[in-house]
Structure 1
Amino acid sequence: MEPYIHSEIKNAIGFITFFHPAGNSFPSKQLEKLVSTINELDTHSEVQILVLQSEGNTFCAGASFDELLQITDVTSGEKFFAGFANVINAMRTCSKLIIGKAQGKAVGGGVGLLAACDYVIATPEAAIKLSELTIGIGPFVIEPAVSRKIGKTAMSELALTANEWKDAKWAFEKGLYSQLATKETLEEVALTLATQLASYNRDAIRALKNVFWEGTSHWETLLPERAKISGELVLSNFTKNALKAFKK
């Protein structure tokens, strides 16, 4: 199947569904499409709540390794990682509350996407990992979003145990996940919450979203700066060799 990002509006709820055959990983074009989709739905006056979800058994495998291997200069590296910065900033500044549905594992940038949601419902299968150190870079772009949710101490543990999966219970206890549900009930639980939130005062929802994200306006410059760090590190021999080994 070809990668895609679909959007649909039902009963004041905007659903964003993404898919990529490589574990729902994100190449640049997918990241750009996700930003434009979020921004487009934000302009729809009839949309009150957004639901971010993916197809398949994995929520999101993070950055596209195929594209990372093709980066040959700092400019293209910075541009690629700026894609994740743009997505997080779009989610942060979106006037709609965003509910994340995690049906399966999330790695790297996928963890960042969940951290940028306002409320996340996950299944027990939704383990998380920040594996960036294993390939010679670090979770620089997503760190502010993840730290905002789980704190610096838990973020440090997650980043430094780069080969270790943290289960959904750990993510729930640390605050990344707001609620746990079984795979069988995930759809119903998310829809029930989204429907309830969509029935509330639109102005109150928008004001609450602003309160949730107070003190993050500097991310407009911070996240691109972090993207530059990753863009430089991805050119190292360590990273190139690690990515090739992983592909094999």
Structure 2
Amino acid sequence: MGITTTRDGAIALVTIDHPPVNALPVRGWFDLARAVREAGEDQSVHVVVLRAEGRGFCAGVDIKELADDPDHTALVGVNRGCAAAFGAVYDCAVPVVAAVHGFCLGGGVGLVGSADVIIASDDATFGLPEVDRGALGAATHLARLVPQHLLRALYFTARTVGAQELHRHGSVLDVVTRDELDKAALAVAGEVAAKDARVIRAAKEALNGIDPQPVRRSYRFEQGFTYEMTLLGAGGEARQRFVQGDR
């Protein structure tokens, strides 16, 4: 359990496995960042597949860890950890294919929105419950998945959107059954892995270089408002309501 890396030829599979809902604590985000970064640095790896075990892809951060955080050390840690993990996916030297099933919430959207290709199962849902948790963040990454006005509606209401709708917007490449998800992700990864790795690595760097959105900077800007909400008391109150089950 935790974050593991396995190989399928030139494809590295980085797996999130943190029961019950893949809500990662501070250490988990840094472990994930390290795994993705190391996979990209390995010259024998041509593609990374980011996947998960369990009920869903990722439920974001471990709210219980944040709720029991009198000096805000965990809040600072998880914000830095998320930034590190999202940045590792975005900056990975090789393309990252995200294989998403079930729920993909909060930090899960940050990971997927940082990836290069998304394959989703037909039960996958995506959303940012940040407003309901007294925090802000990952709108930067949701903006890479949906149009602007839908982004705002989803953000303000904390609603989720399904894989089929993201497929219609073009952000999800393929929607498959859950049983076929790993196979479909590996098939796309295999297509990329078959190319000249020197060209693919250069292509990844080139595409990041022409990206109109300053992903790292805009996400850190968002995170500043999470600190404000904590200082105002709204953040702590929301996290306590979540832990107590009053959502």
Q: TM-score, normalised by structure 1?
A: 0.89
Q: Is the 8 A contact 1:82 1:227 kept in 2?
A: no
- SS of 1:47's partner is coil
Name the stretch that deviates more: 76-85 or 97-106. Answer: 76-85
- Per the TM alignment, residue 97 of structure 1 is displaced from its structure 2 partner at its CA by 0.4
RMSD between aligned alpha carbons? 2.0
Aligned to 2:206: 211
Displacement of 1:75 in angstroms is 6.0
Partner of residue 95 from structure 1, selected from 93, 96, 106: 93
1:178 matches 2:176? no
Provide, for residues 44-84 of structure 1, a one-character-per-residue CA deviation record: whole Å limited to 9, x for no partner: 11100000001012111001111221233466533321211
Q: Is the 8 A contact 2:10 2:44 kept in 1?
A: yes
Unpaired runs of at least 5, structure 2: none
2:14 is the counterpart of 1:16? yes
Distance (whole Å) between structure 1 residues aligned to residue 126 and residue 211 of structure 2: 26
Is residue 196 from structure 1 mapped to residue 160 from structure 2 by the alignment? no
Residue 123 of structure 2 corresponds to 125
The 8 Å contact of residues 126 and 168 in structure 1, kept in 2 or not, is answered as yes
* Cα distance, 1:232–1:106 mapped onto 2, change above 3 Å: same
* Residue 34 of structure 1: aligned partner: 32
CA distance in 2, matches of 1:98, 1:149: 15
Are 1:81 and 1:228, in contact at CA under 8 Å, matched by a contact in 2? Answer: no
Higher relative contact order (CA 8 A, sep 6+): 1
Aligned length: 243
- The one-character-per-residue Cα deviations of 1:168-215 (angstroms, maximum 9, x if unpaired) are 222222333221011121122111111121110112211221233224
After superposition, give the CA deviation of every residue in 1:87-144 in whole Å (9 maximum; x if it has no partner). 1111111111000001211111111111111001101110112111112222x2x222
Q: Following superposition of structure 1 onto structure 2, how do residues 130-169 of structure 1 map, counting pairs within 5 Å?
A: 130-138=128-136, 140=137, 142-162=138-158, 164-169=159-164
The residue aligned with 2:241 is 245
Correspondent of 1:226 among 222, 225, 230:
222
Question: In the alignment, is the contact (CA less than 8 A) between 1:78 and 1:230 conserved in 2?
Answer: no
Query: Under a length normalisation based on structure 2, what TM-score does the superposition of the two structures give?
Result: 0.89
Which consecutive residues of structure 1, in runs of 5 or more, have no partner in the other structure? none
Aligned partner of 1:126: which letter?
Answer: A
